[in-house]
Amino acid sequence: MKKLLTLLFAVVTVSANAQIFEKGDWYLNAQATNLNFLYASVDDISAIELGIATNVGYFLSNKFAVDASLGLEYLKFKDIDGSAYFKFGAGVSYYPIGNFFARA
């Protein structure tokens, strides 16, 4: 448990020192959004869910950014054909203090 807390503290500390963006900066973010496995012994149900996403943004000023996102999710249950769906969106972010932000 002590090692887990140390690792968690290290991750939080590293993320707290992220770069502050300025007007004219671009950013690109790629991530794995889901990796879920499900098994229920009652009805022998099993499923897998996978997802990936990317987000690109541009800072209009030191405190405002616009962005667009695109993602793909896949869900498959045992003995049933899988289904995939796309996700997309756009947003505006406001950074009042450093890396803290509000997004719509």
Instruction: Identify the band that residue 26 occupies on the pLDDT scale cut at 50, 70 and 90.
Output: very high
Whether 16 has a pLDDT exceeding 70, the answer reads no
The whole-model pTM stands at 0.60
Residue 21 and residue 57: Cα distance in Å, rounded?
A: 11
Whether 72 and 86 have beta carbons less than 8 Å apart is answered as yes
Retrieve residue 22's tokens: 């300025």
Interval 26-53 mean pLDDT: 81
Note the pLDDT of residue 8: 55
What's the Cα-to-Cα distance from 6 to each of 3, 18, 25, 54, rounded to whole Å? 5, 19, 33, 30
Helix and strand numbers, DSSP H then E, in the chain: 1, 5
**Per-domain residue ranges of the chain:** 21-103
